[in-house]
Amino acid sequence: MPSYKPLPKQFAEGRLAKPMSELLRSYNEGPRLAWEVKHLSAIVRVDRAHVVMLARQGYMTRAHAGALLAELDDIGAAGPAAFAVAPGYGSMVLQMERVLAERLGDDVAGRLPVARSRLDQGAAVRRLADRDGLLRVVGGLLALDDALVAAAARHARTPFLGYTHLQQAQPATYGHYLLAFSDRLHDSFQQLAQAYRRVDRCPLGAVGLAGTTLAIDRHLTARLLGFSDVLDNARLGRDAYYQAELVFALTMAMTLLNDLCTDLHLYSSVEFATVELDDALCSTSSVFPHKKNPYALETVKTKAAEAQGWVVSALAVFRNEGTGDTNGRNVAFIDDACDTTAAMMRLTAEIVRGVTVREARCEELLSRAWVTTNRLGNVLLTDHHLDYRSAHSVVGRLVKNCLDNGVAKPNVTVEMLHEAVAEMGMEPIDMTQEDLVAALSHTEFINNSISHGSIGPEQVERLLVKATRRHYKSLAWVDETTRRLKVADSELDAAAKQFCQSASP
């Protein structure tokens, strides 16, 4: 296990007469160092890529590069727990230089900071961390999408109720309902993929704001770190506005989870009772032994509520200070936001996989619900030549009369329809009882829905095929992205190994 000794001098001793206030350090340098130590592996990756590039460009010898890379590998293998920071010595750029100087001497360690600053080094580390966090979210998103599409396939024709204004509105199928969330989830995937493209730009070598007079190879370091592009303008090396975009995508994804879990919370209540959650995702009451409390749904909804403050907080980071203030341009909670979103995606996937649809209850509600009245209006329009607004009025009066007289939908007669036609001042229509029953049937409604995107069997099957293909295409994006990162890691490892071997006696 390597040992580390803090240097006796403060980092800023040459310029400042006093060390940093302990209170300031606890709120400024301390939290930043804690974050950097947590991401030690990313710091080591950035340092290794920088050393390889400097050696290839002739700014350090192969021996110096090999010695630095060997120590960096040792530090990385020891992990964050073994890295003891020196209070008052600044960020991890300086902490790492301190440790390397203790091990290798100033002459070798002093080669590492050539052609870079804390600004671009820190930005590169942050982008690596944000890139990894974003991929964790996408992994959770695709786990949820897999659960949604699988459940939709099982319930493609399972009758369900659709609501507007929280009132029964139209027949639905549970599969069609879930596929709508799959569609929205794909929107979130596209937002995250777009954000990834902006995260995936390498700032290393921007060297503050204006670049350097040294002939460094920024494209090499970008490739070794798996970035798909170089952040072109050096002035943007410390820029992190992409984080606000990423936070917005995370917030929208959490809003989607809230909508789904709020629906299921209602549907699983005794009053609705159309779905039931798996016991493993529930608990019971400490005083009411009959209760089955949907803890998983409540957990997701609570986290989704917290997420509503993320965007405002992120935008506040980039407050109205112009471009001259680079110190505070970092959304400190973005790691937690990514972890929370990824976890809630996976928890919601468990919820979806564990839902039991109470089909008999759905059929019972649909048989009594006035959710097929617009189909009756369409029949009056197409078969009996009423304009739709007149048909709407007739059907509305029929429903009112039935409700006023306690007549349930299964007991509606064609004579009642004729009475409604007369009350609304319309010409008599020629409709049979059989036609009326068919027009009010939820099964007929589902089977005869033919418009694009509707709940009809052919349309649901089309949506399922589309969702499945889209899911595999998204998986392919993840696979290709991961493959490219692994190729970069392998190239960096191979280059580092060559320099280490050349430095060996």
Give the pLDDT band of residue 329 (cuts 50, 70, 90).
Answer: confident
Residue located via tokens 């293909």: 469
Identical topology for domains 22-114 and 119-214+232-358: no
Predicted pLDDT at 27? 81
Predicted pLDDT at 15? 76
Q: Is 304 or 33 the better-scoring residue by pLDDT? A: 304
Give the pLDDT band of residue 4 (cuts 50, 70, 90).
Answer: very low
Whole-number Å distance between alpha carbons of 484 and 133: 17
* Contacts (Cβ under 8 Å, ≥6 apart) of 462: none
CATH architecture observed for domain 22-114: Orthogonal Bundle (1.10)
Give the pLDDT band of residue 5 (cuts 50, 70, 90).
Answer: very low
Predicted pLDDT at 317? 85
Structure tokens at 71: 């120590």
Is residue 494 pLDDT above 80, yes or no? yes
Is residue 444 pLDDT above 70, yes or no? yes
Structure tokens at 295: 């803890």
- Least confident span in 201-205, 325-329, 421-425: 325-329
- Percentage of the chain exceeding pLDDT 70: 95
Whole-number Å distance between alpha carbons of 261 and 255: 10
List pLDDT tens digits, range 172-195: 999 999 999 999 999 999 999 999
Ranges of H-type helices in 57-168: 62-78, 92-104, 106-109, 118-154
The average pLDDT across 406-429 equals 95
Predicted pLDDT at 152? 98
Q: Is 10 or 4 the better-scoring residue by pLDDT? A: 10
Predicted pLDDT at 418? 95
Predicted pLDDT at 88? 75
* Contacts (Cβ under 8 Å, ≥6 apart) of 67: 104, 108, 503
Q: Are the CB atoms for 291 and 311 separated by under 8 Å?
A: no
The average pLDDT across 126-132 equals 97
Specify the pairing of strand 159-164 against strand 167-173.
antiparallel
Structure tokens at 362: 């759905």
Give the pLDDT band of residue 321 (cuts 50, 70, 90).
Answer: low
Q: Are the CB atoms for 175 and 154 separated by under 8 Å?
A: yes
Whole-number Å distance between alpha carbons of 42 and 29: 19
The average pLDDT across 16-32 equals 81
Per-position DSSP letters for 117-133, written without gaps between them: -HHHHHHHHHHHHHHHH
Is residue 13 pLDDT above 80, yes or no? no
Predicted pLDDT at 209? 83
Whole-number Å distance between alpha carbons of 474 and 81: 36
Predicted pLDDT at 1? 35
Whole-number Å distance between alpha carbons of 431 and 439: 10
- Least confident span in 56-70, 79-93, 167-181, 473-487: 79-93
Q: How far is CA 83 from CA 80, 87, 122, 377, 404, in A?
A: 5, 13, 18, 74, 77
Whole-number Å distance between alpha carbons of 67 and 110: 12
Neighbours of 171 (CB within 10 A): 24
Backbone angles phi, psi at 276, to 5 degrees: -140, 140
Q: How far is CA 69 from CA 65, 184, 204, 396, in A?
A: 6, 46, 18, 79
Domain 119-214+232-358 bears CATH identifier 1.20.200.10: yes
- Percentage of the chain exceeding pLDDT 90: 82
Per CATH, which fold does 370-448 belong to?
A: Ribonucleotide Reductase Protein R1; domain 1 (1.10.40)
Whole-number Å distance between alpha carbons of 161 and 167: 10
Predicted pLDDT at 300? 98
The average pLDDT across 296-312 equals 97
CA 463 to chain centre: 23
> Which of 454, 416, 459, 406 has its CA nearest to residue 437?
416
Predicted pLDDT at 86? 85
What is residue 293's DSSP assignment? B
Q: Are the CB atoms for 300 and 351 separated by under 8 Å?
A: yes
- Domain assignments of the chain as residue spans, ordered by start: 22-114, 119-214+232-358, 370-448
Is residue 319 pLDDT above 80, yes or no? no
- The predicted model scores a pTM of 0.93
Neighbours of 493 (CB within 10 A): 13
Is residue 323 pLDDT above 70, yes or no? no
The average pLDDT across 339-367 equals 98
Whole-number Å distance between alpha carbons of 304 and 431: 51
Structure tokens at 240: 């992190």
Give the pLDDT band of residue 9 (cuts 50, 70, 90).
Answer: low
Q: Is 322 or 64 the better-scoring residue by pLDDT? A: 64
Is residue 307 pLDDT above 90, yes or no? yes
SS3 83: coil
Is residue 219 pLDDT above 70, yes or no? yes
Predicted pLDDT at 326? 60
Is residue 286 pLDDT above 70, yes or no? yes
Specify the pairing of strand 167-173 against strand 201-202.
unpaired
* Contacts (Cβ under 8 Å, ≥6 apart) of 435: 379, 383, 414
| Mean pLDDT, all residues of the chain | 93
Is residue 8 pLDDT above 50, yes or no? no
How many residues would you count in the chain? 505
Cross-strand pairs, 275 = 357
Q: Which sign, positive or negative, has the C-alpha torsion 150, 152, 158, 160?
A: positive
